[in-house]
Amino acid sequence: MRNSFVNYNQFKYLGMSIPKHVRSIICGAFLCSPLLGAAQVISGSEGTRIGNFDYGSAASITFIKDDLAAFVMTPSINPNPGMAAPDNSIHKFIDKGIRFDWGRVKDAVVGRLISDHPVKVTFKLSSGWPGLFSQFSELPVQNKGVKGEARLADGKKITWQVRTSPAPVFIETTERVTRDGKSLNIGGSQFVVSVTPEVPVYFVAGFGELPDFDGIDKTLNKAEQVYEAERPKAMGTAGDFIGAIADNLNNSRIYSNDNHMVAISVSRGWIRGPNANPYFCWDSFFNGLLASLDDPQMGRETVRAILSCQTEEGLVPNFGHWVSGGQTISTDRSQPPVGSLCVWKMHLLQPDVAFLQEVYPKLAKWHAWWMVARNAKHDGLLEWGSSMGNINLAKYETGWDDTPQFEGTKMVGKTMNAYAIDLNSLWAMDAHYLALIANAIGHVADAKKYQQEEKEMIQRINVKLWNEDLGIYCSRLWDSDDGKPGAFLTRITPMNFYPLICGAPDTQRAKRVLSVMTDPKQFWGEWILPTVSRTDPLFPQQGYWHGTIWGPVNYLVFQGVKCYATPQVQADYAEKSVKLFMKNWETDGVCGENYLSTTGEQHTKLARSDSHYTWGALLCIIGLESTVNLSDDGQAIAGTGFNQDIEMNNIPWGGRLHHIKVRDRKVKILEKP
């Protein structure tokens, strides 16, 4: 139960606050968390990675040396996401009354297990990834644990140890014979500890000299207090919907030794083994944005990961670093162009001009690719597609895998034979944010070009894709060869609200679009936004994209709602989104891939729905953006507020932290000293 976190309050924690600007940790070639972690507590050797990076379990502890050797400890618990500091100075989990805490100290970790009932916990030891071997052996009895050993590139051996207090009640190593006949315990190992309410178990693990057992409580208590004081959080009756973002993203970091990268995974449930952490396209950009609240460097690494899969033509693939249909990269299709939106927002939260300069050429190339590959009629309006000419793969490109939005279309060559209202709106939005990025790095001529592209696309949308009879924008079939206008596609979904995002409608058209969105018979209600209208015959199915609610949809539509809707609608929209997330998070520890729009639940039996999928947390960031709206130039504008009184602390933008208070729908912003 997620609300069992309140049990932490029964423990007394003492410590001292350490300013963020003195905290850091080396992570491979990049600084993983320049604003996080007590340097004198957790800093270790360069080339040493220690974290929750194993693909199998967020509760695992991974030790990686020079990307050549690894040692993974995996406890036999299955907790929901808990506190996980970006610098790995403190991790906290609870699973069925068992509390598991650990933190990094130089090239080691210290940890403890506390239980409200007698229980035995098994730790499995492995090498983790292909080619990273370790041999394991039991230490002498007085050392109370297991030793791991591996050989580095220069022939030197690297040794790590695990010791527990009290000693393990069982230790087992599994032998495997190498080709030269030598017996090495590289098949894995495990040990079992016994935990009771009266006797917690402490452990130390890592390279070289290990910390003493008697300092573990002090170290972990101090690390927790430091991070608790400086992590982003929300307070009030709405719950800690900001801290929930950090908990989910910080527990989703995965290492791959084929590319030596740590990047945020959408969910361990989608990982098919070592080095099969999928870099999904728009998911990765959203993860970059979400991570920027607490771990901006990991957000940037995640964006780098998906952009590393970009094709020579400019396509950023639906997936990379994964295997599906015999492909490791989906070179036939892309996904919604939200990259520039997310990268710019990341920059507003934690400015980094060098990162903008790094990714701008790739984002610009992707933007241009759409007009080459998905402009089949050469008229400046875009269609979804796949170079394989497969309609289902083209639907995957929409990001809404089984959406009924494009029923009645067919593939003509490499694209659908219909102008996509969602894609054209997002492309105009992409041009807007590319212009901002270009200006920020001094590409003034490029910025003007993108501004003109945005203007021209908006004009095409208004001329071609406005359905006056329905009072809403619609996707539309191509004109016939004799010039007869193509029919509108009138299956209404939130895609039809996307022109609000790019500023296409005038006041009157926006009013008509919003009247559809806020109609309780169609899309409004206690739980919003269903991905088909409540009047649609598919709605009762509550299938994948057949009426369920998705974080990325709510988040994108909110970008338009902020521009056009009344303050009350904005506040209601934000509150409904946060309430949906927190209903499941506080009860079951769920960050849903999608949610039922009938009950507001993330039904674990719902087909193709993951209960730990990072972009569910986009529902929470709507709550933040409803109170503070960052303008294109980075200025913080007090938003329409929230229907409940709330406070948010340690919220970054412009490279500084802020405290936000909402009282009676009035927003007060304070910069922290």
- Residue 85 CA to residue 143 CA, distance in Å, equals 30
Q: Is the pLDDT of residue 34 over 60?
A: no
User: What is the signed CA dihedral for 289, 295, 297, 302, rounded to 10 degrees?
Assistant: -50
CA dist 435 to 24, 193, 320, 608, Å?
33, 58, 27, 37
Q: What is the CATH number of domain 2-230?
A: 2.70.98
Q: Is the pLDDT of residue 486 over 90?
A: yes
Handedness of CA 44, 47, 48, 52 (dihedral sign): positive
pLDDT tens by residue, 622-671:
999 999 988 898 888 888 888 999 999 999 999 899 999 999 989 999 98
Work out whether strand 418-419 and strand 415-416 pair parallel, antiparallel, or are unpaired: unpaired
- Residue 485 CA to residue 480 CA, distance in Å, equals 7
Q: Is the pLDDT of residue 465 over 70?
A: yes
Burial of 214 (0-12, 13-18, 19+ CB in 10 A): exposed
Chain region(s) in the chain for CATH 2.70.98: 2-230
- Residue 562 CA to residue 586 CA, distance in Å, equals 27
pLDDT of residue 607: 55
- Residue 358 CA to residue 337 CA, distance in Å, equals 18
Q: Is the pLDDT of residue 174 over 90?
A: no
pTM reported for the whole predicted model: 0.91
pLDDT of residue 144: 80
Query: Is residue 95 within a helix (H) or strand (E), and if so which, with residue range?
Result: strand 91-95
pLDDT tens by residue, 118-142:
999 999 999 999 988 888 888 876 6
With CA atoms as reference, report the closest residue to 168 among 147, 138, 145: 145
Mean pLDDT of 154-163: 89
**Residue bearing the bigger pLDDT, 183 or 537:** 537
Give one DSSP letter per residue of 26-79, joined into a string. EETTEES-TT-S-HHHH---TTEEEES--SS-TT-EEEEETTTEEEEEEES--P
**Percent of residues, the chain, with pLDDT higher than 90:** 79
- Torsion-angle region of residue 665: left (phi > 0), alpha (psi -120 to 50) or beta? left
**Which three-class secondary structure state does DSSP give residue 425?**
helix
Q: Is the pLDDT of residue 287 over 90?
A: yes
Q: Is the pLDDT of residue 27 over 80?
A: no
CA dist 279 to 116, 258, 285, 310, Å?
39, 14, 10, 11
The pLDDT-based confidence of 235 (bands split at 50, 70, 90) is: very high
Mean pLDDT of 551-565: 97
Q: Is the pLDDT of residue 520 over 70?
A: yes
Query: Is residue 397 within a helix (H) or strand (E), and if so which, with residue range?
Result: helix 391-398
**Residue bearing the bigger pLDDT, 171 or 430:** 430
* Three-class secondary structure assignment of 298-329: HHHHHHHHHHCCCCCCCCCCCEEEEEECCEEE
Q: Is the pLDDT of residue 507 over 70?
A: yes
pLDDT of residue 633: 85
Mean pLDDT of 390-406: 97
- Are 229 and 636 in contact by the 8 Å Cβ rule? The answer is no
pLDDT tens by residue, 294-325:
999 999 999 999 999 999 999 999 999 999 98
Q: Is the pLDDT of residue 510 over 80?
A: yes
- Residue 72 CA to residue 46 CA, distance in Å, equals 19
- Residue 329 CA to residue 240 CA, distance in Å, equals 37
**Percent of residues, the chain, with pLDDT higher than 70:** 90
The pLDDT-based confidence of 152 (bands split at 50, 70, 90) is: confident
Handedness of CA 581, 582, 584, 590 (dihedral sign): positive
Whether omega for the bond prior to residue 278 falls within 30 degrees of 0, making it cis, is: no
Q: Is the pLDDT of residue 183 over 70?
A: no
Burial of 276 (0-12, 13-18, 19+ CB in 10 A): middle
pLDDT of residue 46: 80
Give one DSSP letter per residue of 225-252, joined into a string. HHHHHHS-EEEETT--HHHHHHHHHHT-
pLDDT of residue 590: 94
235-671: which CATH number, 3.20.20.70, 3.40.50.2300, 1.10.10.10, 1.50.10.10?
1.50.10.10
- Are 203 and 111 in contact by the 8 Å Cβ rule? The answer is yes
With CA atoms as reference, report the closest residue to 342 among 582, 28, 621: 621
Chain region(s) in the chain for CATH 1.50.10.10: 235-671
Phi/psi of residue 364, nearest 5 degrees: -65, -40
Q: Is the pLDDT of residue 166 over 50?
A: yes
**Residue bearing the bigger pLDDT, 101 or 186:** 101
Q: Is the pLDDT of residue 162 over 60?
A: yes
Query: Is residue 160 within a helix (H) or strand (E), and if so which, with residue range?
Result: strand 157-165
With CA atoms as reference, report the closest residue to 607 among 596, 616, 622: 596
What is the edge-to-edge ordering of all strands in the sheet holding 69-75? 48-51, 61-65, 69-75, 119-126, 189-195, 170-173
Both structure tokens of 128: 């983790």
- Look over the chain and give the mean of its residue pLDDT values, rounded to a whole number: 89
Largest CA distance in the chain: 89
